[in-house]
């Protein structure tokens, strides 16, 4: 049997959280034994959307990322409780609610924070990939309700192109755990700013801004827009040398870094070239 995978495309997610609500709708108060006992009303998010605010005001972007059980092919939770964690033929990883009863250590076994403890029933719980729906030839509820097709689910073979372009949520763990949830367009960094003429107190439209990666020497250039703004999207975490040039102005060079976070360089001032004046 072919293995199933989830594909989550960050660039398509609007953060509406329909998927998060659908997970509750499907599992709260519903007993889907033998795959899962009911999810409690509060305290558990088998599917959740994490919001990350990037940059500094006024150049801010928000990225939404899906966090759920990664249905690892080499699951750390299964190593802790091989008798209670089952990998189905289709690759979905299930915590057997009967065999896992009382085994709270499973919560700590998941490096992705995907397992929750149900105090009332005394069981560890997590996303089942809606195995009860998959068995009926349907797709997981979170996938079904997404209005933008940001979460997809299906056979590995169907998604060959996406898989080739995908990344893991935690790249440093990917080789070890071999997650079956694959991510497209995970945010890198952005480098942005606004070019102004302080003498005229105006923005400079059409300035050429070149960002050179100090370590690799690779450079890319953009032109400031009608607001004097420039944006470099999906750049590496790196130190940058930024050259700003515009006709009639002296070229200036600035340093910036995106090592720890996205960077709004703020207002970059250019001064008129007196020789041409
Ligand atoms: S339903 Fe789709 S668009 Fe809405 S938060 Fe979930 S993944 Fe994003
Ligand atoms: S993400 Fe966590 S719960 Fe899911 S299979 Fe991997 S280790 Fe187990």
95 lines ligand 2 (CB under 6 A): no
Instruction: Report the predicted TM-score, pTM, of the whole model to 2 decimal places.
Output: 0.87
Q: Is 150 in the pocket of ligand 1 (CB under 6 A)?
A: yes
Domain that holds residue 125: 4-184
Q: Is 168 exposed, middle or buried (0-12, 13-18, 19+ CB in 10 A)?
A: middle
Q: Which atom of ligand 2 is nearest the CA belonging to 179?
A: 6
Atom of ligand 1 nearest to the CA of 8: 7
Q: Are residues 143 and 47 in the same domain?
A: yes
Looking up tokens 């450079």, which residue turns up? 219
Which residue among 129, 151, 184 closes a domain? 184
pLDDT digits (tens, 9 = 90+) for 225-247: 999 999 999 999 999 999 999 99
Q: Which atom of ligand 1 is nearest to the CA of 17?
A: 5
Two tokens, residue 101: 């009863």
Task: State yes or no: pLDDT of 159 exceeds 80.
Answer: yes
Question: Per the domain annotation, does 276 fall within a domain?
Answer: no
Share of the chain above pLDDT 90, in %: 97
Q: What is the mean pLDDT of residues 138-151?
A: 98
* Same domain assignment for residues 174 and 204: no
What is the overall mean pLDDT for the chain? Answer: 96
Centre of ligand 2 from the C-alpha of residue 99, in Å:
17
Write down which residue in 167, 184, 201 finishes a domain. Answer: 184
How many angstroms separate the alpha carbon of residue 168 from the centre of ligand 1? 18
Question: Are 195 and 161 part of one and the same domain?
Answer: no
What span, in angstroms and rounded, lies between the C-alpha atoms of 255 and 265?
Answer: 9
Q: Judge if the beta carbon of residue 16 lies within 6 A of ligand 1.
A: yes
> What per-residue confidence (pLDDT) applies to 277?
46
Average pLDDT of 172-196?
97
Which CATH number does the domain housing residue 44 bear?
A: 3.30.70.20
Counting from 1 in the atom list of ligand 2, the atom nearest the Cα of 109 is 7
- 163, 260: one domain: no
| Residue 275 pLDDT | 66
CATH number at residue 221: 2.60.40.10
User: What are the DSSP E strand ranges found in 142-228?
Assistant: 151-155, 181-184, 189-197, 202-203, 208-213, 219-223
With a 6 A CB cut-off, is 98 part of the ligand 1 pocket?
Answer: no
The pLDDT tens digits for 96-121 are 999 999 999 999 999 999 999 999 99
Q: What is the mean pLDDT of residues 152-160?
A: 96
Boundary (domain end) residue, out of 184, 214, 234? 184
Ligand nearest to the CA of 16: 1
């Amino acid at each position: 049997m072919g293995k199933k995978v989830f594909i989550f495309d960050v660039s398509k997610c609007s953060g509406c959280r329909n998927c998060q609500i659908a997970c509750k709708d499907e599992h709260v108060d519903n007993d889907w034994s033998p795959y899962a006992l009911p999810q409690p009303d509060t305290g558990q998010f088998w599917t959740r959307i994490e919001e990350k605010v990037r940059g500094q005001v006024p150049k801010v972007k928000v990225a939404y990322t899906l966090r759920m059980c990664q249905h690892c092919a080499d699951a750390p939770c299964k190593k802790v409780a091989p008798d209670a964690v089952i990998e189905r033929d289709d690759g979905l990883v299930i915590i057997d609610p009967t065999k896992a009863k009382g085994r709270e250590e499973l919560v700590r076994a998941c490096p992705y924070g995907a397992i929750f403890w149900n105090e009332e029933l005394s069981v560890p719980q997590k996303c089942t990939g809606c195995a009860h729906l998959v068995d009926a030839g349907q797709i997981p509820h979170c996938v079904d309700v997404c209005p933008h097709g940001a979460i997809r689910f299906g056979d590995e073979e169907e998604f060959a192109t996406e898989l080739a372009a995908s990344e893991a949520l935690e790249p440093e763990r990917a080789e070890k755990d071999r997650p079956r949830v694959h991510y497209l367009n995970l945010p890198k960094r952005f480098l942005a700013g606004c070019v102004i003429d302080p003498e005229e107190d105006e923005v400079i439209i059409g300035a050429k801004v070149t960002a050179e990666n100090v370590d690799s020497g690779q450079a890319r250039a953009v032109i400031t827009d009608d607001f004097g703004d420039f944006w470099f999207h999906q750049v590496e975490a790196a130190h940058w040398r930024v050259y700003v040039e515009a006709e009639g102005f002296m070229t200036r060079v600035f340093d910036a870094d995106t090592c720890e976070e996205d960077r709004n360089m703020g207002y970059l001032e250019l001064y008129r070239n007196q020789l041409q004046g």
